[in-house]
Chains A and B, each alone.
Chain A
Amino acid sequence: MSTVIVLTPIVIASWPAITAAVAAAAAGLGLSVREELRSEEAVEAENQAEVELENSEVLAQGMALGKELVLTQGEMTIRVRRDERGQCRVCAEGKGHSKQELKQMAEAFSQKLVQSYAYHRTVSELKNKEFQMVHEDVAEDGTIRLHVRRWVD
Chain B
Amino acid sequence: MAQHDLEITISKTGEVRVHVKGVKGKACMAYAEWLAKAIGQVKERQLTSEYYEPETKARIDLHQELGRGQ
The chain A residues found within 8 Å of chain B, CB to CB, are 1-10, 55, 111-112, 114-115, 117-119, 121-122, 125-126, 128-129, 131, 134, 141-153
Given contacts A2-B21, A3-B29, A3-B51, contact A121 B12 (CB under 8 A): no
**Cβ contact within 8 Å between B9 and A145:** yes
**Cβ contact within 8 Å between A141 and B18:** no
Taking a contact as CB atoms closer than 8 A, the residue among A4, A9, A150 that contacts B46 in the complex is A4
**Cβ contact within 8 Å between A152 and B43:** no
Chain A residues, CB < 8 A from B24:
2
- Assembly CA distance A149 to B8 (angstroms): 11
Q: How large is the interface on B (under 10, 10 to 19, 20 to 34, 35 or more residues)?
A: 35 or more
- Assembly CA distance A37 to B69 (angstroms): 39
The chain B residues found within 8 Å of chain A, CB to CB, are 1-24, 28-29, 31-32, 34-36, 38-51, 58-59, 61-62, 66, 69
In the complex, what's the smallest C-beta–C-beta distance from B60 to chain A, in angstroms?
11
In the complex, what's the smallest C-beta–C-beta distance from B59 to chain A, in angstroms?
8
* CB < 8 Å A-B pair total: 163
**Cβ contact within 8 Å between A152 and B38:** no
**Cβ contact within 8 Å between A10 and B58:** no
Chain A residues, CB < 8 A from B4:
149-152
Given contacts A2-B28, A5-B32, A143-B10, contact A122 B20 (CB under 8 A): no
Chain B residues, CB < 8 A from A122:
8, 10, 16, 35, 38-39
User: Residue among A9, A111, A119 with the most chain B CB within 10 A?
Assistant: A9
Given contacts A5-B44, A153-B58, contact A144 B17 (CB under 8 A): no
Closest 5 pairs between A and B when the two form their complex, measured CB to CB: A114-B14, A2-B50, A6-B44, A10-B40, A1-B48
